Amino acid sequence: MLESMSYTVPKLTDFSTSALDSAVRELLSALDQESAAVSSARNQNEVAHDVEWKQLWEEWKAFRDRWLARKNGITTQINDLWLKAAPKETKRDVGQRVNELKAKIEVEVGRAEAHLQRQESDDQRHLIESSGKSYASLDDAWRATQGVDITLPGIRRPLGAEHPVIKTMNEIIGVFRNLGYSVEEGPEIETDYYNFEALNFPPNHPARDTQDTLFIAGQESKPPRERLLLRTHTSPVQIRSMEKMKPPVRVVCPGKVHRNDAPDATHSPIFHQVEGLAVDTNITFCDLKGTLDHAMKALFGSSVKTRFYPSFFPFTEPSADVQISCIFCGGKGTRDGGPCRNCKASGWIELLGCGMVDPNVYGFVDYDPAKVSGFAFGMGVERIAILKYGVDDIQLFFNGDVRFLEQFG
Ligand code: DAH
């Protein structure tokens, strides 16, 4: 403890204004002196190292506790020896003075702390600079000059959780794995050939417009089919799989796809799809219906019904959109006495595209359309996750807000 700390709170018997004035003056002058002593305790001629700083902080703590400790600190003492002992008619005056003193003491203790903190970080910087070493970050420098304090608590690294999109994707893959499908992946940067041409999109065909393709710039000198783009769907992996293997083929192809779409509650320029392809002898539309009906029941519950609605895709003929009975209203079209908003009162929700592989596609991969037949399907992962988990905005999947993500942990 510093020598200057010799002040003791006097017991008051005289509560006259002049006696109070002088008691207050004495206390404040002691506070001033002690605060100055703590603030200037660092040897002004030398930079203090951490051992010395430990000592300096001990002194500041002693100063703080002497004045502010609940048990027998000076603020407590003036409460007991001055305020409580004051005769009734002076209580108001004494109370006001005691409160003012308490506030001043708190300010002074805080001021001394801030002063020491400034000096300590100056010393820190000085030590780092004069060490002649360079550090990657201030944190590294701090650690290098401080050493490791093994009494500090460890760094808590919160457990991560599977992202809801990946979780849903894995669930979809799991359903098809159980049916004997294997998993194939392909590149996100594709050629026009795989993304369009081999999937029977003729050059300049209007169906290409529906895909809002993002092309890589500066490829005008290349033949059109070699030009690179960000794949707009996972269907090119169908072609790559058929190039690699002979029938029978049963694959699912999960992955990220890109489209030039402005983000809103239902659109994102990046999203995920799972593609499916089955090619063998004698595969029929019945197989397609049975497979997808089973998959939708596995994903959404066994009471879900499916419906196949005529559609068009260049790489399937015939093509269909698959609808499932609305999981919110049970397919009734009404909920809580009004129209169901999720299915626009139709009782059905459109979920994926599918069809029988167009014979033209086999021509690109050297399969004999007279011998084999097959079906394909493609579904959006976010769309399925939105329905399964009742998410109302696709952007939530991509914002990285931990409060949203941790609900799936
Ligand atoms: N590729 C289509 C799309 O992104 C989805 C699709 C539809 C995939 C029908 C298929 C299919 O394999 O047969 O819109």
Q: 3-state secondary structure string, 193-235?
A: HHHCHHHCCCCCCHHHHHHCCEECCCCCCCCHHHCEEECCCCC
- The answer to whether 226 and 242 are in contact (CB under 8 A) is no
Question: What backbone torsions phi and psi does residue 212 show, to the nearest 5 degrees?
Answer: 45, 60
Percent of the chain with pLDDT over 90: 78
- Going by pLDDT thresholds of 50, 70 and 90, the confidence category of residue 3 is low
* Ligand 1 mean position, distance from CA 378 (Å): 4
Q: Indicate if ligand 1 lies below 6 Å from the C-beta of 192.
A: no
Q: Residue 133: give the domain boundaries.
A: 2-146
Task: Give domain status of residue 154, yes or no.
Answer: no
**pLDDT the model gives residue 49:** 82
Whether residues 305 and 399 share a domain: the answer is: yes
The alpha carbons of the chain give a radius of gyration, in whole angstroms, of: 38
SS3 content of the chain, % helix, strand, coil (to 5): 45, 15, 35
Same domain, 184 and 106: no
pLDDT of 133 > 90? The answer is: no
Whole-number Å distance, alpha carbon 359 to ligand 1 midpoint, is: 16
Q: Which of 94, 113, 146 is the last residue of a domain?
A: 146
Mutual orientation of helices 50-68 and 91-130 as an angle, nearest 10°? 170
Task: State whether 55 and 181 are in the same domain.
Answer: no
Residue 408 above 70 pLDDT? yes
AA identity, residue 128 = I
Pairwise pLDDT comparison (362 vs 48), residue with the higher score:
362
pLDDT at 144 over 80: no
> Is residue 348 pLDDT above 80, yes or no?
yes
Mutation to probe ligand 1, out of 377, 381, 382, 383 (largest number of atoms < 8 A from CB): 377
Q: In 13-80, which ranges are continuous DSSP H helix?
A: 17-39, 50-68, 74-77
Q: Is residue 156 situated within a structural domain? A: no
From CA 311, how far away is CA 134, in angstroms rounded? 65
- Answer yes or no: are the C-beta atoms of 325 and 346 closer than 8 Å: no
Confirm or reject: Cβ of 233 under 6 Å from ligand 1. yes
Dist. CA 203–CA 43, nearest whole Å: 82
Ligand 1 pocket test target in 275, 317, 356 with most atoms within 8 Å of CB = 275
CB 353 near ligand 1, within 6 Å: yes
Q: Do 106 and 177 lie in a common domain?
A: no
pLDDT digits (tens, 9 = 90+) for 295-308: 999 999 999 999 99
Q: Per the domain annotation, does 295 fall within a domain?
A: yes
pLDDT of residue 178: 98
Same structural domain for residues 175 and 118? no
Q: Report yes or no: 405 and 163 within 8 Å, Cβ to Cβ.
A: yes
Cβ-Cβ contacts under 8 Å for 62 (sequence gap 6 or more): 1, 2, 5
Q: Which residue's CA is the nearest one to ligand 1's atom 7?
A: 353
Q: How deeply is 135 buried, as exposed, middle or buried, from its count of CB atoms within 10 A (0-12, 13-18, 19+)?
A: middle
Atom of ligand 1 nearest to the CA of 235: 1
Ligand 1 centroid to residue 244 C-alpha, Å: 20
The pTM (predicted TM-score) of the whole model is 0.65
Are 303 and 172 members of one domain? yes
Ligand 1 mean position, distance from CA 254 (Å):
12
Q: What is the CATH number of the domain that holds 321?
A: 3.30.930.10
CB atoms within 10 A of CB 300: 18
Question: In this predicted structure, what is the pLDDT of residue 42?
Answer: 86
Going from the Cα of 361 to the center of ligand 1, the distance in angstroms, rounded, reads 14
Looking at the predicted structure, is the pLDDT value of residue 158 above 90?
no
Same domain as 285, residue 137: no
Task: Say if residue 240 is in the same domain as residue 199.
Answer: yes
Please tell me whether residues 312 and 228 are part of one structural domain: yes
Q: Whose CA is nearest to atom 3 of ligand 1?
A: 233
Q: Is 148's pLDDT higher than 80?
A: no
> In this structure, are 180 and 136 located in the same domain?
no
Q: In this structure, which residue's CA is closest to atom 5 in ligand 1?
A: 378
The token pair that represents 283 in the structure block: 């595969």
3-state secondary structure of 283: coil
Q: How far apart are CA 245 and CA 224, in angstroms?
A: 26
User: What percentage of the chain has pLDDT greater than the value 70?
Assistant: 97
pLDDT tens by residue, 23-35 = 999 999 999 999 9
Summary mean pLDDT of the chain: 92
**Could you tell me if 221 and 346 are in contact, meaning their C-beta atoms sit under 8 angstroms apart?**
no
Question: How far is Cα 140 from Cα 118, in angstroms, rounded to an integer?
Answer: 20
- Does the C-beta of 255 come closer than 6 Å to ligand 1? no
The C-alpha atoms of residue 239 and residue 363 are separated, in whole angstroms, by: 11
* Longest Cα–Cα distance in the chain: 117
Q: Is residue 151 part of a domain?
A: no
164 lines ligand 1 (CB under 6 A): no
159 in a domain, yes or no? no
Domain boundary pick from 146, 178, 197? 146
Q: Which of 253, 315, 383 maximizes ligand 1 atoms within 8 Å of its Cβ, making it the mutation to test the pocket?
A: 315
Closest CA to 34 of 108, 86, 102, 103: 108
Where among 146, 173, 198 does a domain terminate?
Answer: 146
For ligand 1, the distance from its centroid to the CA atom of residue 353, given in whole angstroms, is 5
Identify the weakest region by mean pLDDT among 43-52, 209-218, 301-310, 397-406.
Answer: 43-52
Ligand 1 close to Cβ of residue 252 (< 6 A):
no
Same domain for 119 and 212, yes or no, is: no
In a domain, 74, yes or no: yes
Cis amide bond preceding 359, omega within 30: no
Tokens of 128: 């780092």
Identify whether the C-beta of residue 32 lies closer than 8 Å to the C-beta of residue 109: no
Judge whether 158 lies within some domain.
no
Residue range 70-112, pLDDT digits in tens: 999 999 999 999 999 999 999 999 999 999 999 999 999 999 9
Task: Answer whether 377 contacts ligand 1 (Cβ < 6 A).
Answer: yes
285 and 318 Cβ atoms separated by less than 8 Å = yes
The tally of domains found in the chain comes to 2
- Whether residue 153 is contained in a domain is answered as no
Query: Do 285 and 312 share a domain, yes or no?
Result: yes
Give per-residue pLDDT as tens, 243-294: 999 999 999 999 999 999 999 999 999 999 999 999 999 999 999 999 999 9
Q: What value does the mean pLDDT take over residues 169-194? A: 98
b/e sequence 148-166, b meaning 16+ C-beta within 10 Å: eeeeeeeeeeeeeeeebbe
Predicted local confidence at residue 234, as pLDDT: 98
Task: Name the band, by pLDDT with cuts 50, 70 and 90, for residue 43.
Answer: confident
What pLDDT score was predicted for residue 259?
95
Q: What mean pLDDT comes out for the span 135-144?
A: 70
Integer Cα distance of 59 and 349 in angstroms: 72
Atom of ligand 1 nearest to the CA of 232: 4
Which is more confidently placed, 271 or 129?
A: 271
Q: Report residue 376: phi and psi, to 5°.
A: -140, 160
Ligand 1 center to residue 371 CA distance, Å?
A: 23
Residue among 176, 352, 360, 357 nearest 251 (CA):
176
* Separation of alpha carbons 275 and 400, rounded Å: 26
**C-beta of 236 in contact with ligand 1 (< 6 A):** no
